[in-house]
Chains A and B, each alone.
Chain A
Amino acid sequence: MSEATLYDKVWERHRVDTLPTGQDQLFVGLHLVHEVTSPQAFGMLGERDMTVAYPELTHATVDHIVPTADQSRPFSDDAAETMMRKLEENVEQAGIEFSHPDTGDQGIVHVVGPEQGLTQPGKTIVCGDSHTSTHGAFGALAFGIGTSQIRDVLATGCIAMEKKDVRRIDVTGELGDGVEAKDVVLQIIRKLGTDGGVGYVYEYGGPAIEALGMEGRMSICNMSVEGGARAGYVNPDETTYEYLEGRDRVPEGEGFEELKSYWESIRSDDDADYDDVVEIDGDALAPMVTWGTTPGQGVGVDEPIPEPEALPADKQDTARNAQEHMRVEPGDTMEGYQVDVAFLGSCTNARLPDLRRGAAVVAGKEVHDDVRALVVPGSQRVQKAAEAEGIADTFRDAGFEWRNAGCSMCLGMNEDQLEGDEACASSSNRNFVGRMGSKDGRTVLMNPQMVAAAAIHGEVTDVRNVETTEEVTEA
């Protein structure tokens, strides 16, 4: 078992007891709530005559079902309106703070938590959403949970969990032009497999990770779960502290210094023991694209799509089915793969720097005639900042739709969906069959610059060959 890692330290600080099952009862420092996975949990609480134990450590927002075009109430979709009302009612009753669309603070739960400073190093964070792993970017232990576990957390402020092993993933070198955090994590999943992380928590480190801003680190931790790891984290450092200082929920002055000494104390020791160590060569990475229907089916944009027979035996059938669904041939590259839709959004890549990098690619150009392109900012704050910076206009002028904040097309729970067999260049996290709302739809995952380039050219395009107008900011 690992020793003296951040995971070990934060786990121990939050361990309340060991349960008769052998699981540990962990105290939860931040519980994020959204409309899709919580109503049943609140319902169960009511049936048991229990109340929310720690409303002050709970924060709600609405993201999955919220329309991104016309947000006037009641929502045109009755089911969405019902879910919204239920959430409003539940959080009101429990006294839970709500980043409601009316506050200007609404957004995707994994964008809202960090930008408001709710997400901090050394916290245990849970949410009924698998991409809760995002918050690990700050050196928090963050886990996606199911609805029965949400009930546990609401009722007791705790979660029952078994400790996992820790795998250190060192990303060496420096990322080249057009290569981003997203490409690093797609390469990790390709290398270790979609189930390679089962039983592990991932600790990301090494020079290429340390050089990333918080948004890039979030993109990587976000997709830990696509590699089977329920959580992933980066040790907090000066980049983390700088991001946090001055945010709404972060104390100032002495309070900040006190917290900072806690944050420093929970970093993995230099001589920490890991259960496994893996190295990824950051210098060798190209912009990645997926050719299949799992996030592990990725290649460099200029690399041939693999022959199923060349893959591990247990991945060959999945690969054959995926290639049939996507209509791609082994040996070809994904360059030139025609797209009908370009989606820049999601909890993986819809923060301000993501949009800036996309905007730098589209500035002064026009979206291809056959492409419907949309940008869905991760939160109302991101949206506002992007509008103030002129990024929104850059996208609009190029022919993108500029939408309101939400999960949108990533999982097609609102009106934003693929139709028929449309192919989509997407900055989201899952290319599963049916994920974007059409069971025949085809999703190609890539970084935001690559999405922008695909929107302009109407096909998967190597962004390294596309001229950009401004210097592209670091991932």
Chain B
Amino acid sequence: MTRDDAGADSGTSPDEGPADVVEHVSGTGVPVRGNDVDTDQIIPARFLKVVTFDGLGQFAFFDQRFTDDDEEKAHPMNEDQFRDANVMVVNANFGCGSSREHAPQALMRWGIDALVGESFAEIFAGNCLALGIPTVTADQETVEAIQDWVDAHPDGDLDVDVANETVTYGDRTVDVTVDDAQRKALVDGVWDTTALMASNADATQATADSLPYVD
């Protein structure tokens, strides 16, 4: 059984109240290998015909995970040993393509709380941040070593330390990179930018008034 929508109940959803501090994420990992994994793979467009994000978890990587007859294919997310994983370990340019927030929403609702990878597409990383999901990066060798370790230790604990920019697995701690703004936003719990910016309404209006094209 998948943990569909577990993320929605865990308090990480921004529409459920004030932002929380995300200093680190602990749990077990799931490796999803390959470069240039695009958002159409993460969630095919046919599942975007919805007006809420509810229930999207079951469609994460759908075409990679299921045949036309809805039978399971070989994919790490279908393996029992990874079904409780909350840290996805990926390769380069993950999340390229469309701006659909449905992609990180689907991963979050499947159960993912953090991503470790070689690199992420910008809009995807921004969407993750808006959900309080860190996207931390490291070089290819480091990431592949973590993927190999996760494969060998599906129950092993991983700790993604956003504040200190490290990932700890087994008896190893490796340095990773967290984008400055992302780190600050998560560690200070200010990744919900709506409230932050709404408090600047006067300055916003002043900026609007200074622009020649705003009436």
B146-174 CB contact bits vs A (8 Å, 1 = yes)?
A: 00000000000000000000000000000
Taking the closest CB of chain A, its distance from the CB of B11, in whole angstroms, is 15
CB pair A146–B214 under 8 Å, yes or no, is no
A21 to B19 alpha-carbon distance, docked (Å): 13
**Which of B131, B180, B214 is within 8 Å of A29, CB to CB?**
B214
CB pair A228–B41 under 8 Å, yes or no, is no
CB pair A15–B194 under 8 Å, yes or no, is no
CB pair B96–A194 under 8 Å, yes or no, is yes
Write out the residue numbers on chain B whose beta carbons fall within 8 Å of the beta carbon of A144.
98-99, 123
A54 to B53 alpha-carbon distance, docked (Å): 25
If A262-B212, A262-B213 touch, does A439 touch B203 (CB 8 Å cutoff)?
A: no
CB of B23 closer than 8 Å to a CB of A: no
Which A residue sits closest to B187, measured CB to CB?
A21
Interface residues on B, range: 35 or more
CB of A96 closer than 8 Å to a CB of B: no
Taking the closest CB of chain B, its distance from the CB of A292, in whole angstroms, is 10
Write out the residue numbers on chain A whose beta carbons fall within 8 Å of the beta carbon of B45.
411-413, 435, 437
B-contacting residues, A375-422, CB 8 Å: 411-413
A149 to B126 alpha-carbon distance, docked (Å): 9
CB of B86 closer than 8 Å to a CB of A: no
A123 to B44 alpha-carbon distance, docked (Å): 32
CB pair A16–B207 under 8 Å, yes or no, is yes
Write out the residue numbers on chain B whose beta carbons fall within 8 Å of the beta carbon of A43.
15, 51-52
Could you count the A-B residue pairs with CB atoms below 8 Å apart for me: how many are there? 217
CB pair B198–A50 under 8 Å, yes or no, is yes
A111 to B119 alpha-carbon distance, docked (Å): 31
Write out the residue numbers on chain A whose beta carbons fall within 8 Å of the beta carbon of B74.
none
Taking the closest CB of chain A, its distance from the CB of B161, in whole angstroms, is 19
A113 to B127 alpha-carbon distance, docked (Å): 24
Which B residue sits closest to A36, measured CB to CB?
B48
Write out the residue numbers on chain A whose beta carbons fall within 8 Å of the beta carbon of B179.
162
A223 to B14 alpha-carbon distance, docked (Å): 31
A230 to B131 alpha-carbon distance, docked (Å): 20
A125-158 CB contact bits vs B (8 Å, 1 = yes)?
A: 0001110100000000000111111011001111
Considering only CB atoms and an 8 Å cut-off, how many residues of chain A contact the other chain? Answer: 81
If A158-B197, A413-B46 touch, does A37 touch B119 (CB 8 Å cutoff)?
A: no
Which B residue sits closest to A47, measured CB to CB?
B15
CB pair A44–B35 under 8 Å, yes or no, is no
**Which of B50, B188, B214, B215 is within 8 Å of A21, CB to CB?**
B188
A25 to B198 alpha-carbon distance, docked (Å): 10
CB pair A146–B15 under 8 Å, yes or no, is no
CB pair A37–B100 under 8 Å, yes or no, is yes
CB pair B197–A156 under 8 Å, yes or no, is yes
Write out the residue numbers on chain A whose beta carbons fall within 8 Å of the beta carbon of B127.
146-149
A36 to B180 alpha-carbon distance, docked (Å): 31
Write out the residue numbers on chain A whose beta carbons fall within 8 Å of the beta carbon of B63.
433-434, 439
A430 to B39 alpha-carbon distance, docked (Å): 11
Taking the closest CB of chain A, its distance from the CB of B39, in whole angstroms, is 8
Tell which of B63, B98, B188 has the most Cβ of chain A within 10 Å: B98
A-contacting residues, B173-215, CB 8 Å: 179-181, 184-185, 188, 190-191, 193-194, 196-198, 200-201, 203-204, 206-208, 210-215
Q: Which of A174-182, A274-282, A313-321 contacts B (4 or more CB under 8 A)?
A: A313-321
Write out the residue numbers on chain B whose beta carbons fall within 8 Å of the beta carbon of A428.
none
Write out the residue numbers on chain B whose beta carbons fall within 8 Å of the beta carbon of A259.
212-213
**Which of A47, A225, A433, A437 is within 8 Å of B41, CB to CB?**
A433
**Which of A19, A120, A149, A151 is within 8 Å of B196, CB to CB?**
A19
CB pair A145–B46 under 8 Å, yes or no, is no
CB of A65 closer than 8 Å to a CB of B: yes
Write out the residue numbers on chain B whose beta carbons fall within 8 Å of the beta carbon of A37.
99-101
CB of A247 closer than 8 Å to a CB of B: no
If A14-B207, A39-B52, A160-B197 touch, does A145 touch B123 (CB 8 Å cutoff)?
A: yes
CB of B130 closer than 8 Å to a CB of A: yes
CB of B20 closer than 8 Å to a CB of A: no
A437 to B49 alpha-carbon distance, docked (Å): 13
Write out the residue numbers on chain B whose beta carbons fall within 8 Å of the beta carbon of A230.
122-123
A311-346 CB contact bits vs B (8 Å, 1 = yes)?
A: 000110110010000000000000000000000000
Write out the residue numbers on chain A whose beta carbons fall within 8 Å of the beta carbon of B180.
22, 162
CB of B21 closer than 8 Å to a CB of A: no
CB of B78 closer than 8 Å to a CB of A: no
Given A36-B49, A434-B63, 7 extra CB contacts under 8 A: A122-B212, A122-B213, A156-B201, A228-B121, A262-B212, A317-B34, A411-B45
**What would 13 A/B residue contacts be, using CB atoms closer than 8 Å?**
A21-B190, A27-B207, A36-B48, A50-B194, A146-B130, A158-B200, A194-B96, A195-B36, A228-B96, A259-B213, A262-B213, A318-B34, A434-B63
